[in-house]
Amino acid sequence: MPGYPLPLHLTASSFQAVKGVIFDMDGLLLDSETLAMDALAEAGTDLGYDVPLAFCRGMIGMPADTCRQMVHDTYGTDFPLERFFALQEEHLRRYVDSDRLVLKKGVTPLLDLLDRLSLPRAIATSSSRYRTDHHLELVGLLTRFDAIVTRDDVTRGKPNPEPYLTAAEKIGIAPEACLALEDSHNGARAAHAAGIPVIVVPDLLAPTEDVREKALAIVDDLDYVRHWLEQAHA
């Protein structure tokens, strides 16, 4: 379709085989990663620490335990870790409740297409159940998914494949018949490890070489995915 050319290694049949779609949430469905980074930096300032954006970006897509270890390794064991993340949560909630949380480009049209095609869809996110449900409800997406898998629902987070395997199981679709949509490095690695073809829509992080090798395609926004699925089912 004009304006949305398929990569040379893909054909319409690549998307005809898709029986279910699994979405990441932060940075893919919701323009929330920037808010989370701002909240981390503000929490650091509250406590008298400089928490640079580059450091915050290193936590994107990481399990909570890994993020905590990163902070300890950088700022030492005396750093008030629990207070830091509690303040981040307070600031993020304030940002979100003041209407700063918005959808990423192409989200609603893609979900509308999945409705028309009767394709089941799930979310596999590293966020908590509370944050996930709260944010999805605020933007009107909470009821638009057949299953939602959060970090509270698995024992091992991304880049482990467990979140994606759990999501595929919940919608009753074999992993290889699903399509994963991700923005983060660890999310793409998790989907690939689960045996799920993954399209990466970069947000704050440019894809690394290994992510490029693992991805079915790298695209600017979800409109590409919608056009390709629509073309495949025309």
Comparing 10-19, 148-157, 181-190, which segment has the lowest mean pLDDT? 10-19
Q: For residue 230, count other CB atoms closer than 10 A to its CB.
A: 17
Looking at residues 29-40, what average pLDDT do you find? 93
Burial code (b: 16+ CB inside 10 Å, e: under 16) for 95-110 equals bbeeeebebbebbbeb
Looking at residues 161-178, what average pLDDT do you find? 99
Instruction: Judge whether residue 12 has pLDDT over 90.
Output: no
Q: Using alpha carbons, list the distances in angstroms from residue 167 to 21, 23, 105, 177, 180.
A: 10, 9, 23, 13, 10
The pLDDT value recorded for residue 207 is: 95
Sheet containing 147-149: give its strands across.
147-149, 121-124, 20-23, 178-182, 198-200, 217-218
Q: For residue 80, count other CB atoms closer than 10 A to its CB.
A: 15
Instruction: Judge whether residue 3 has pLDDT over 80.
Output: no
DSSP conformational letter for 233: T
Read off the pLDDT band of 1 (50, 70, 90). very low
The pLDDT value recorded for residue 124 is: 99
The pLDDT value recorded for residue 65 is: 86
* H or E element at residue 189: helix 185-193
Tokens 């390794």 locate to 73
The pLDDT value recorded for residue 217 is: 96
Catalytic positions, written as ranges: 24, 26
Radius of gyration of the chain (CA): 18
Looking at residues 75-87, what average pLDDT do you find? 95
Read off the pLDDT band of 14 (50, 70, 90). confident
Mean pLDDT comparison of 12-16, 33-37, 65-69, 182-186, highest-scoring range: 182-186
The pLDDT value recorded for residue 160 is: 96
Instruction: Decide if 28 contacts 125 (C-beta within 8 A).
Output: no
Give the model confidence (pLDDT) of 107-152 as tens digits: 999 999 999 999 999 999 999 999 999 999 999 999 999 999 999 9
Domains detected in the chain: 12-31+102-232 (3.40.50.1000), 33-100 (1.10.150)
| Confidence (pTM) | 0.90
Looking at residues 200-221, what average pLDDT do you find? 96
Task: Write down the mean pLDDT value for the chain.
Answer: 94
Instruction: Judge whether residue 2 has pLDDT over 70.
Output: no
Residue by residue, DSSP assigns 67-92 as HHHHHHHHH-TTS-HHHHHHHHHHHH
Instruction: Judge whether residue 163 has pLDDT over 60.
Output: yes
CA distance 11 to 60: 32
The pLDDT value recorded for residue 6 is: 87
